Structure 1
């Protein structure tokens, strides 16, 4: 879904990229994940949503000047006649002129290497619709996380050439020595693609990313020169995304008045199937749920069903303006104890692998804290929906915290967090504050999740 083109020619040569015809992998693979969209509704164990216009994550227009507001409403995403339907509408909604949907498997299914096949029917893209079937890496910050665009349609060049509904695009994006790098290739079909379903297949191994439509090749990218072309991003796990954008840089349509494509417009998906070889990587969140009980985030208590192992599957990051201090732990021998200087923001976060904490829905985050500060701070959790925060304001609801310098048990119901996806937790505990007026001293210990 990113459309900038930088360093493309140089890096394509460096990476050994070619757009010549190729043969798909011949070895037999095993079906390891699929969605045939045969149920009454979208399977929340396989898909979640991006909701909003991107501003909530500091990326208004989703980084591409897109015009739609993504929702999770059935009007925009549903199962219909055995197909997933993503439907864009022209309607005023939350300050946007259009609505649509963007689904993703983040926290539900990630994989490295395999053959991914989808049977889809795109809408009549005309001027302004932008269907996309693509992938993002699970590690890092874009472009360093990597991106693989398997199928996109509706670009400005195709509109100008009169082939908007026959031209497909595929692309990859990554970080090359600190700069954004891109390689893309377009393909013109002999028929209008909105009239029927077509099968899109990506084969991905340690050597190549290759993409076909109805067995006709239209993209190839060599990824074996990992060090020389800085292609580490394409050798880690990715998750899937499906969306139908309206307007944006890719389409060259940047105002609601410029959108003349027929609306409502539908992207329809009959099925998606993933096949892999032995040794390929697969993460399925539904089979990796953390058992109910107490889960230790930063604690040495013994009555937990599991715990984070710092230096192995998790790390404590001090983001800004925190100096370690001495404090007696409330339990065990470790404690988070810091001083933040006045006049500068401070923050920390416990970063982990993806964790399926779905069994803890309806439960709470518990920790011990001691402080005397009267300034406001926030406690947060990061999931597939982004950051979610609870404010601690002097005189407000402090969930058991007393600001008297003694240890106090703090209990925050998970229901107090906004837009929390416990099925895909990435940072299990965060603290942040705007610049305080006076120095702040605080200590935190015995942090754990409690199921209902």
Structure 2
């Protein structure tokens, strides 16, 4: 679902796709979503909003025709079921609206049995419901993708079975190139007439997918060195969405959409069971960072916590930065760099996903000294993508004075656009367009301050 799949699937990794009956699981339940509250639970779900252009994926990488919103018109709870509704309405420059929900920063897991009871819409020609997963870390396809249920494919439309066929697939990085494997299941009845149980069994040896107990997808991950499938031995999070048009459907214009709209994808429940050795589960609501001062790049005393650069976090120099010698503001470490003229420069502190929800309403604080008059940006990356604050000479510099002396910079989190503090993936970033002359800057004592 992240990108249009290749027409030639990477079939050599498949163990077989015969429809086999699966035994009932005997694992322990570890997480479930029954959609029995009055509204969608923010501890479990957040949204991708827009047409994808805001993260450099216009049409969400698939030439899709909808604008995703977080409005109740597109995603809501009705009678103990989640409803994701695609509507024909002009919104945000797109001809349709819908919703794309995800558990990123809320629930991730590695290995287990995942079941969902879902009723797909009448997909007709043009609707594309999906229940799928993405890796927490990495850049697609190297983060890995597992599609547990998709419907509405161009091939199913061509064969006249579009409302009876669903598919499962995996996408990953095979020795530097995108690799794909998929299999389809064609039902004897229309799948939009009732709910059906979609199940994945994920172990260190395989990924298997079934519908109503009939297995039709089997993928071997037992030798990740040979098959380059390391992505499928790391945590992933869930996504639910209802797309309109796009590469999967083969329909790229509103004129080609003949599926009835509004179209509704309904989910009764999702349940996760685990007992496999090596299983992992991250629940954001149980992992919130305590309030106070959290050290991003700080050696001060009295912190509520701090990033561990021996495993949890790394400082990456992206481009055009040369370390230089300088006296730290505090402690023994300092970010001290020179950027040459004529090329953009940037750096970022990448970290394991952090729930910093207790810091909403607070501030990003750091010490900085520089004399450059050029514009630069300070950013944070969360489940919503990058969010930046501009530092323009003569504008709001949040306490920075460009006189070559140390100054405390204090940026309220409210100054960042579209920030999801429940899922912070890069806690501090700096970037700038090519300067006209070389730039030196020094940054130290970076921390988050709760209200």
TM-score (structure 1 length as normaliser): 0.98
Aligned to 1:217: 215
- Give the direction of change, closer, same or farther, for the CA distance of 1:368–1:25 in structure 2 (3 Å limit): farther
The 1:27–1:188 alpha-carbon spacing in structure 2 relative to 1, beyond 3 Å, is closer
Does the aligned pair in 2 maintain the 1:25–1:203 contact within 8 Å? Answer: no
**Cα separation, 2, equivalents of 1:7 and 1:157:** 13
Cα distance in structure 1, aligned partners of 2:229 and 2:20: 21
- What secondary structure sits across from 2:226 in the alignment? coil
CA separation in 1, counterparts of 2:250 and 2:24?
39
Residues 5, 183 of structure 1: 8 Å contact kept: no
Q: Give secondary structure in 2 for the equivalent of 1:228.
A: helix
Cα offset, 1:6, TM superposition: 5.9
SS of the residue 2:238 aligns to: strand
After superposition, the C-alpha distances for 1:49-76 in whole angstroms (9 at most, x for unaligned) are: 0011010011111110001000001100
The number of equivalent residue pairs is 449
Matches within 5 A, 1:282-297: 282-297=281-296
Three-state SS of the structure 1 residue aligned to 2:332 is coil
Give the Å deviation of 1:439. 1.1
How much does 1:212 deviate? 1.0
Quote the Cα distance in structure 2 between the aligned partners of 1:102 and 1:404: 47
Provide the rounded CA distance (Å) in 1 between the counterparts of 2:257 and 2:438: 53
Question: What CA RMSD, in Å, does the superposition of the two structures yield over aligned residues?
Answer: 1.1
CA gap of 1:270–1:16, structure 2 versus 1, over 3 A, is closer
Contact 1:24–1:203 (CA under 8 A) maintained in structure 2: no
2:435 matches 1:431: no
Matches within 5 A, 1:250-269: 250-269=248-267
Measure, in 2, the Cα distance between the counterparts of 1:201 and 1:128.
25
How far is the alpha carbon of 1:163 from its aligned partner? Answer: 0.9
* TM superposition shift of 1:12: 2.6
Is 2:20–2:214's contact at 8 Å kept on the other side of the alignment? no
* Structure 2 Cα separation of the partners of residues 294 and 84 of structure 1: 38
Structure 2 CA distance, aligned partners of 1:16 and 1:278?
A: 22
Q: Match of 1:333? A: 332
Q: 5+ residue gaps in structure 1?
A: none
Q: TM-score, normalised by structure 2?
A: 0.98
Alignment of 1:42 with 2:43, yes or no, is no
How far the C-alpha of 1:17 sits from its partner, in A, is 2.5
Give the Å deviation of 1:137.
0.8
How far did 1:326 drift? Answer: 1.6
The 2-side partners of 1:361 and 1:349 are apart by: 21
The CA distance in 1 between the partners of 2:258 and 2:382, in whole Å, is 36
Structure 1 residues 35 and 218: CA distance shift in structure 2, 3 A = same
Give the deviation of 1:450 after TM superposition: 0.2
1:4-403 correspondence runs (5 A) = 4-5=5-6, 8=9, 11-13=10-12, 15-24=13-22, 28-277=26-275, 279=277, 280-403=279-402
Q: Deviations over 1:388-441 (max 9, x none)?
A: 000000010000000000000000000000010000000000000011112111
Please say if residues 206 and 220 of structure 2, whose CA atoms lie closer than 8 Å, have aligned partners that are also in contact: yes
